[in-house]
């Protein structure tokens, strides 16, 4: 019997038509224009909107979030950074632990379906809309293609057609006009709930956090505009002679009001217009309030401020790296939450309907993002080599899984270390080492001394007389890789990039071996 991810039985009748088309009340809600609650927004009105969302009216929260994203460029910019960090990463689908050949085949089949889906990356981006609004409802389109039930597309649905169940504030229901609402059909929705905070679904998103800085910022922007209108321009005073009639006064008033914009005008003879100095005032309090609101918004969205704006005082490179690490941790959390939704609402239905090894909701393939970097590989390679040399038994499968490198199958071409005669390698190492020593002005070292020292170090024999020969070289190389690369480029201007890379690798071999022998 076919069951959903929770083990409840279901039928395939729900996949024939879209649920939003079958319900007239929901269909009519989709045709309505959204309210714009930020028009005339006050602290009391905002508190009422958040209270309505808590009571199950998610339309108020959704319309507020949309207005905030449309009207506040800072919120839109920072949210865009966080949302686009999710899209574009590689991914893979893994079979269950100790998978049978049939389970591995099904995992490969699911990977092909998702890889061929032109809608998939759009769905990932729409999932991230839940970061602000708490949840992202996406109605799936199914079709029977080549003897398989597959998802052929989806439709993003606005959050304002949903409400929460009166007895379960974490259960999303279609707002069909009834007290409880209509349950979304299983296998018909990819419903991503993004927990930026713990709690019920109405406060899972960032809208409740960002709404207050948004409100205070709007007050400050409005006050700043009024300040500039009142204090930013010189005061224009018109003087009319005694005995002027109302028509002459009206003529002078029109000239005074328009001369600042038109930069010209005419008045009757005997009348005057004086330009007074602009009134004294400071815009700093309004700008400080706007800056505080934007910094608070950046902290809530990105976990810091230096990844979006710098104040020119504390924006050091070290602090920027710290803030970038905080953003990286937030992105990792976003990816893990989206993985769970894909496994539940995309991968499981495809597996249940098409998998030959499907036997329930226990042993399931899983979707994972590949967010490994070349820096991570480099940071793991050197310690791992030392640990293996110390005798630690590290499973190859763990290394492959940690670095997201697939295990080669029979018949696959595999990478191999280049085979180079030992004599040529040693000779090149000696020659390049001698060149660096000579560049340091150490001309009293002979080629024979260097050969003897290098022979000794490769045997693990580092006597004091050899240390004096190699110490200047090691000190220079250990300063930095960048400095060593620059010096090598100056010493060997005719070498290409591959040649310099090989030479630098050989030189650092001496330094690393020295460290291993003298740690």
Q: pTM for the full model?
A: 0.66
Per-residue model confidence (pLDDT) at position 286: 76
Statement to judge: residues 359 and 474 lie in one domain: no
Highest mean pLDDT out of 100-114, 236-250, 466-480:
100-114
Residue 143 lies in a domain: yes
Look at residue 352 and give its three-state secondary structure: helix
Q: How many domains does the chain have?
A: 2
Which of 338, 337, 335, 365 shows the shortest CA–CA distance to 349? 365
DSSP state of 15: G
Statement to judge: residues 144 and 42 lie in one domain: yes
| Model confidence at 457: pLDDT above 60 | no
Per-residue model confidence (pLDDT) at position 425: 47
| Model confidence at 395: pLDDT above 80 | yes
Predicted confidence band of residue 442 (pLDDT cuts 50, 70, 90) = very low
| Model confidence at 278: pLDDT above 90 | no
pLDDT digits 0-9 by tens, 129-171: 999 999 999 999 998 888 888 999 999 998 888 988 888 888 8
The count of C-alpha atoms lying within 13 angstroms of the C-alpha of 423, restricted to the half-sphere facing its C-beta, is 0
Comparing 470 with 142, the larger pLDDT belongs to 142
Per-residue model confidence (pLDDT) at position 491: 55
- CA Rg value for the chain: 35
Predicted confidence band of residue 121 (pLDDT cuts 50, 70, 90) = very high
Statement to judge: residues 354 and 479 lie in one domain: no
Statement to judge: residues 426 and 357 lie in one domain: no
**Window from 21-30, 99-108, 195-204 with minimum mean pLDDT:** 21-30
Check if the beta carbon of residue 487 is closer than 8 Å to that of residue 436. yes
Statement to judge: residues 149 and 36 lie in one domain: yes
Statement to judge: residues 53 and 201 lie in one domain: yes
Statement to judge: residues 145 and 38 lie in one domain: yes
Statement to judge: residues 102 and 171 lie in one domain: yes
Statement to judge: residues 433 and 359 lie in one domain: no
Residue 80 lies in a domain: yes
Q: What is the mean pLDDT of residues 59-75?
A: 88
Per-residue model confidence (pLDDT) at position 443: 44
Residue 439 lies in a domain: yes
Per-residue model confidence (pLDDT) at position 423: 45
Statement to judge: residues 43 and 174 lie in one domain: yes
Statement to judge: residues 362 and 497 lie in one domain: no
Residue 407 lies in a domain: no
Range of the domain at 481: 422-518
Mean pLDDT score across all residues of the chain: 76
Residue 413 lies in a domain: no
Strands 162-165 and 189-193: unpaired
Q: What's the CA dihedral at 324, 330, 331, 337 to 10 degrees?
A: 170
Residue 261 lies in a domain: no
Predicted confidence band of residue 384 (pLDDT cuts 50, 70, 90) = confident
Check if the beta carbon of residue 141 is closer than 8 Å to that of residue 151. yes
Residue 395 lies in a domain: no
**CB count in 10 Å sphere of residue 116:** 9
Choose the final residue of a domain: 337, 366, 395: 366
Residue 303 lies in a domain: no
Note the residue count of the chain: 519
**CB count in 10 Å sphere of residue 519:** 6
Statement to judge: residues 45 and 194 lie in one domain: yes
């Amino acid at each position: 019997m076919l069951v959903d991810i929770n083990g409840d039985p279901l039928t395939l009748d729900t996949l024939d038509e879209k649920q939003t088309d079958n319900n007239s009340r929901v269909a009519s809600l989709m045709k309505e224009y959204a309210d714009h609650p930020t028009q005339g927004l006050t602290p009391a009105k905002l508190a009422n909107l958040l209270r309505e969302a808590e009571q199950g009216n998610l339309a108020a929260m959704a319309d507020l979030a949309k207005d905030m994203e449309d009207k506040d460029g800072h919120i839109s910019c920072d949210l865009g950074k966080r949302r686009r960090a999710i899209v574009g990463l590689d991914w893979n689908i893994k079979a269950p632990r100790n998978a049978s050949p049939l389970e591995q085949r099904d995992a490969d089949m699911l990977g092909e379906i998702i890889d061929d889906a032109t809608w998939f990356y759009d769905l990932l981006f729409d999932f991230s809309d839940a970061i602000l609004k708490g949840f992202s409802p996406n109605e799936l389109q199914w079709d029977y293609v080549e003897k398989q039930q597959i998802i052929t597309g989806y439709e993003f649905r606005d959050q304002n057609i949903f409400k929460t169940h009166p007895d379960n504030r974490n259960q999303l229901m279609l707002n069909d006009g009834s007290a409880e609402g209509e349950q979304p059909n299983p296998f018909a929705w990819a419903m991503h709930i993004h927990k930026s905070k713990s709690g019920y679904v109405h406060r899972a998103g960032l809208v409740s956090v960002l709404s207050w800085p948004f409100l205070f910022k709007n007050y400050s922007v409005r006050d700043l505009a009024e300040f500039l209108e009142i204090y930013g321009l010189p005061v224009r005073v018109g003087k009319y002679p005694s005995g002027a009639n109302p028509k002459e006064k009206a003529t002078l008033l029109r000239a005074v009001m328009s001369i600042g914009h038109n930069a010209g005008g005419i008045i009757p003879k005997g009348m005057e217009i004086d330009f007074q100095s602009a009134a004294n005032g400071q815009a700093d309090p309004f700008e400080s309030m706007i800056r505080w609101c934007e910094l608070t918004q950046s902290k809530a969205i990105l976990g810091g401020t230096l990844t979006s704006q710098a104040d020119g005082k504390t924006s050091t490179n070290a602090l920027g790296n710290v803030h970038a690490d905080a953003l990286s941790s937030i992105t990792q959390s976003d990816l893990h939450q989206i993985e769970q939704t894909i496994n539940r609402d995309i991968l499981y239905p495809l597996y249940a309907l098409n998998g030959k090894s499907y036997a329930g909701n226990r042993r399931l393939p899983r979707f994972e993002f590949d967010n490994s970097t070349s820096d991570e590989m480099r940071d793991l390679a050197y310690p791992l080599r030392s640990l293996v040399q110390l005798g630690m038994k590290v499973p190859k499968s763990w290394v492959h899984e940690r670095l997201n490198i697939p295990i080669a199958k029979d018949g696959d071409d595999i990478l191999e270390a280049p085979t180079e005669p030992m004599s040529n390698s040693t000779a090149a190492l000696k020659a390049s080492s001698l060149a660096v020593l000579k560049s340091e002005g150490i001309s009293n070292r002979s080629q024979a001394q260097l050969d003897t020292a290098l022979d000794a170090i490769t045997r693990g024999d580092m006597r004091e007389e050899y240390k004096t020969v190699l110490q200047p070289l090691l000190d220079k190389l250990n300063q930095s890789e960048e400095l060593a690369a620059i010096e090598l480029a100056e010493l060997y201007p005719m070498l290409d990039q591959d040649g310099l890379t090989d030479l630098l690798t050989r030189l650092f071999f001496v330094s690393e071996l020295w460290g291993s022998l003298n740690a």
